[in-house]
Amino acid sequence: VKSSTVLGIDIGATKVRVAPVPPKGEPGKAATFAVPAGAGPGQLADIIAEHAASLGKKHQFDAAGAGVPGHIANDRRTLLYAPNLNWRDVPFAELLESKLSLPVVLENDVNAAALGEHRFGAGRGAGHLICIFVGTGIGGGIICAGELVRGATGNAAEIGHMLFRPGGRVCNCGRRGCAEAYAGGFHISARYGELAGREGLNPGQILELARGGDENASRVIEDACQALVTLAVNLQTAFDAQKIVLGGGVMDNAKELFEKVREGVSTWLTGNWKSQVQIVASELGPDAGVLGAAALARGIL
């Protein structure tokens, strides 16, 4: 059964991507659709099942894996809390199993993306891997000896909330000074708005203003880089990885930010933490999540 095709499902706050994934990991044609505003778990499971049925005309699926934007219990069957969907305590694996008639495993969406990069993307061959994804927020995934690090409660690798400047800016989690409050896309834009009185610019535009000598933009970008470099260096010091993968929408669309962070990390790492680590850009883009979810599905066959 390990050679069969599985279904990879990547549920984001606004979009869902569903794709058939054969064993070698090259995903078949994916279906992408918007999450209806205010959708409940049952409604979303129904829509996923419709798309799976249309994809399934060409494929026979043996299992499904789903990345979900929230906190997944360590049984990987229960969604404890998904803030962006406003769902709490949902037995979502059971729900999907009843609609899809397939065994289902759940994982946090960012952990799934990290696993995708590990198995099929920029992290291939690295049994010890750190993934840092910078989008609206900052998410991460850590692979240790080939396995995702989930922690005692499934909350490991929530790296955007690692402390960067104690008592600093208020993060979306309510605490002051998380790395995300300086380097998440939302906060890069918000902070520039506060300093310069110009709202609504995206990180790429702010990077360009910094290049043109705008002092507020330079300050925002320098602090974002410092937060990301601090994160990466501290994670590498803790986990001694072979590769650090940097990705996510903000990083993918701002090559200069990637280069600045890579340079900073290599400046501040020393000794063995530095000599054997490669810092690379993510390769899979929007397919990372479905591929990682599919790898987990294969694991339950």
Closer CB to Zn ion, residue 231 or residue 284? 231
Residue 293: CB minimum distance to Zn ion, A: 25
130/178 with CB nearer Zn ion: 178
Site for Zn ion in 3-22 (CB under 5 A): none
Contact (CB, 8 A) for 278 and 243: yes
In order, the DSSP letters of 126-186 are: -SSEEEEEESSSEEEEEEETTEE---SSS-TT-GGGSBSSTT-SBPTTS-BSBTHHHHSHH
Alpha-carbon distance 66 to 93, whole Å? 8
**Cβ atoms 168, 177 nearer than 8 A:** yes
CB 26 within 8 A of CB 256: no
94-153 binders of Zn ion (CB under 5 A): none
Cα(252)–Cα(281) distance, integer angstroms = 8
Minimum distance of Zn ion from residue 214's CB (angstroms)? 27
Residues near Zn ion (CB under 5 A), total: 4
User: Measured from the CB atom, is 207 or 227 closer to Zn ion?
Assistant: 227
Nearer to Zn ion, 51 or 187 (CB): 187
Q: Name the minimum Å distance from CB 175 to Zn ion.
A: 5
Q: Does 296 bind Zn ion (CB under 5 A)?
A: no
Stretch that binds Zn ion, among 76-84, 158-166, 228-236, 274-282 (CB under 5 A): 158-166
Name residue, tokens 């694991």: 299
Query: 37 Cβ partners below 8 Å, 6+ apart?
Result: none
Query: Which residues lie across from 33 on neighbouring strands?
Result: 16
- Could you give the dihedral angle defined by the CA atoms of residues 57, 63, 68 and 74, in that order, rounded to the nearest 10 degrees? 170
Cβ-based nearer residue to Zn ion, 80 or 173: 173
Nearer to Zn ion, 178 or 297 (CB): 178
Site for Zn ion in 165-224 (CB under 5 A): 171, 173, 178
Identify the residue among 119, 161, 260, 262 touching Zn ion (CB under 5 A). Answer: 161
In 201-284, at which residue ranges do the beta strands (DSSP E only) sit?
Answer: 243-247, 278-281
255: CB partners within 8 A, 6+ apart: none
Least gap, CB of 194 to Zn ion (angstroms): 18
**Residue with Cβ nearer Zn ion (178 or 284):** 178
| C-beta of residue 296 within 8 angstroms of C-beta of residue 112 | yes
* Binding segment (CB under 5 A) for Zn ion, from list 69-77, 130-138, 159-167, 189-197: 159-167
Minimum CB–partner distance for residue 220 and Zn ion (Å) = 18
Q: In the complex, what is the shortest distance from the CB of residue 284 to Zn ion, in angstroms, rounded to a whole number?
A: 26
Closer Cβ to Zn ion, 48 or 162, answer by number: 162
Stretch that binds Zn ion, among 62-70, 161-169, 237-245, 268-276 (CB under 5 A): 161-169
Distance from C-alpha of 226 to C-alpha of 168, rounded to nearest angstrom: 14
Residues that bind Zn ion (CB under 5 A): 161, 171, 173, 178
